[in-house]
Copies of this chain bind each other. A is one copy, B any other.
Amino acid sequence: MRVEIWSDIACPWCYIGKARFEKGLAAFAHRDDVEVVHRSFELDPNRPKGDIGPVIPMLAAKYGRTLEEARAMEANVASNAHAEGLGYLADGRDHGNTFDIHRVLHLAKARGRQSELLDLAYRTNFAEERSVFDPAVLAEIAVAAGLDAEEVRTVIADENAYADAVRADEREAAELGANAVPFFVLDRKYGISGGQPAEVFAQALDQAWQERTPALRPLGDAAGDRAGGDGETCGPDGCEVPR
């Protein structure tokens, strides 16, 4: 079974939802047969690349609240994070454009290090003083996740590197009807929106598992120009000889 998770590194419910999903997955009997794929979603794709700053004043301006009220909002989210055992500095993080972070996450995916880098990126953004929007910090955590330093530098410097992969993920999110994150898709059949409790994920995995591997519809016969033809195969009893 395959679970795709659309998220943004700037999204606290994605950070919290990931931990809840992983608890649900740990409680799921067939967890070893679940493949998890993380996909890109930018909450604020139009934010200029250099526009980086502390999140509290941004939240206050965005919601028309006082700084104190914005701080209380972050504290509320922080307590939800702490309840999942996650670090969260309630006034530590920056806001900014996450496109470059997603591009480097796609490099990490290609090198089998996506999960490691995603965890580090979340932790850096939400639980540490340093800013994940600083390209030097991004490079540092990418190397800590196991990526090659030179390759990371090249990807960060080249705005086109993995840009198509980020945009393809975002197109798919739109096609699937996801306009907020985290968004979880099970076997391209079930959608789960938001950082649900772990038990909800466990139950959803159970349900999707019961209904997995539906009968495949055969293609090839009808589409091909060969009468009734499957292509040649090899099986336990040997290989077919061409007609």
Contacts and interface: CB of A to CB of B under 8 A. Distances in A.
B232 A13 contact: yes
Interface in A168-197: 168, 171-172, 175-177, 179-183, 185-197
A216 B189 contact: yes
B233 A180 contact: yes
10 contacts: A20-B231, A63-B238, A73-B241, A180-B235, A182-B231, A190-B216, A193-B233, A195-B233, A199-B224, A204-B219
Interface of A: 2, 8, 10-14, 16-17, 20, 32-33, 43-44, 59, 62-63, 73, 76-77, 80, 109-112, 164, 168, 171-172, 175-177, 179-183, 185-197, 199-200, 203-204, 207-208, 212-220, 223-226, 229-236, 238-242
Given A200-B220, A208-B219, 19 more contacts: A12-B239, A13-B240, A76-B241, A76-B242, A180-B235, A180-B236, A181-B235, A182-B233, A187-B188, A188-B214, A188-B216, A190-B216, A192-B219, A192-B231, A193-B218, A193-B220, A203-B223, A207-B219, A207-B223
